[in-house]
Amino acid sequence: MNINFINLRCGHSNIVLHRKLYNDQKNKNIMIEDLNTLDRMLQNINHPFLHNSEQPMSKEDLLDILISTHLYPRSDLITFYSWKGGINGSSIFNNNYIELCSYGCSIDMRSAVSLYLLDQATQKSLNQVLPIIQSNSGDFIGIDLNENSCNFGKLLVSSPSITLSDKLVTIYDSLHSFVKTILECYKLKVYVLNESVLIVDYEKEAEITRILNPMSDFWKE
């Protein structure tokens, strides 16, 4: 085979790889900016989520717990949990619990993994879907960490009382889309913190979420 052709192919592969790494870093930086904006917005309304969240685990510890559980350590998941550690899963059922969004709060990584492992030991209904957002009604939203899944990276909801099914349904196109969606909901007063209750305008929430998450089935009419 022509050496120049081999060099050309290798050069093209390197360009593609560098471009992917650049785009990944760019997307990560944008997500961090959105998380910081959300942080400031939550500070302005003194949202309890900020005070109740656990300290973020180190990147190394996050990688260790995900890899040891045989779950793909997506960079957006690491970025999200490097922002806030999430609230302890057991505190969701306390009387002073206040939701971050209409489907609850992000829970700490250890609680998320515990829920996943419990499912794997019993029902095995979560095919590498890690529950990361939980409500006190028992509903949860998980991120698909199965590289071979058509929903890889998407967020799926388990809410039998609404979907009338035990099957998981896509609800956010990505973890970053989730962040952008709740950020927009706070900006437009779709989510309003009224003393100890999060007031939600469900109609406007659906409109916003449908626009920002066009690939998710939950919001399709």
In a domain, 27, yes or no: yes
221, pLDDT greater than 70: no
Percent of the chain with pLDDT over 90: 71
Q: What is the mean pLDDT of the chain?
A: 88
Domain count, the chain: 1
77, pLDDT greater than 90: yes
Return all residues near 125 (Cβ < 8 A) that are at least 6 apart.
119, 166, 168
For residue 67, what are the domain limits?
3-86+98-219
Geometric angle at alpha carbon 35, from 27 and 171, rounded to 5°:
75
How far is the C-alpha of 48 from the C-alpha of 54, rounded, in Å?
12
How far is the C-alpha of 130 from the C-alpha of 80, rounded, in Å?
14
Residues 50-79 have a mean pLDDT of: 95
In a domain, 193, yes or no: yes
In a domain, 125, yes or no: yes
Q: What CATH number should be reported for the domain holding residue 129?
A: 3.40.1580.10
Q: What's the pLDDT tens digit per position in 18-60?
A: 454 445 677 789 999 999 999 999 999 999 999 999 999 999 9
In a domain, 92, yes or no: no
In a domain, 150, yes or no: yes
Residues 201-213 have a mean pLDDT of: 97
Q: Which residue has the tokens 């081999």?
A: 6
Top pLDDT among 93 and 107 is at: 107
Residues 170-183 have a mean pLDDT of: 97
SS3 for 129-195 is EEEEEECCCCCEEEEECCCCCCCCCCEEEECHHHHCCCCCEEEECCHHHHHHHHHHHHHCCCEEEEC
CB atoms within 10 A of CB 164: 8
DSSP 8-state secondary structure symbol assigned to residue 76: H
CA distances from 39 to 35, 46, 49 (A): 6, 10, 10
Asked which of 5-9, 158-162, 202-206 is least confident by mean pLDDT, the reply is 5-9
In a domain, 91, yes or no: no
How far is the C-alpha of 205 from the C-alpha of 93, rounded, in Å?
24
Residues 117-126 have a mean pLDDT of: 90
- The model's pTM is 0.87
pLDDT grade, residue 136 (50/70/90)? confident
Backbone angles phi, psi at 166, to 5 degrees: -85, -5
In a domain, 93, yes or no: no
In a domain, 214, yes or no: yes
CA distances from 91 to 14, 28, 52, 96, 111 (A): 48, 30, 9, 9, 11
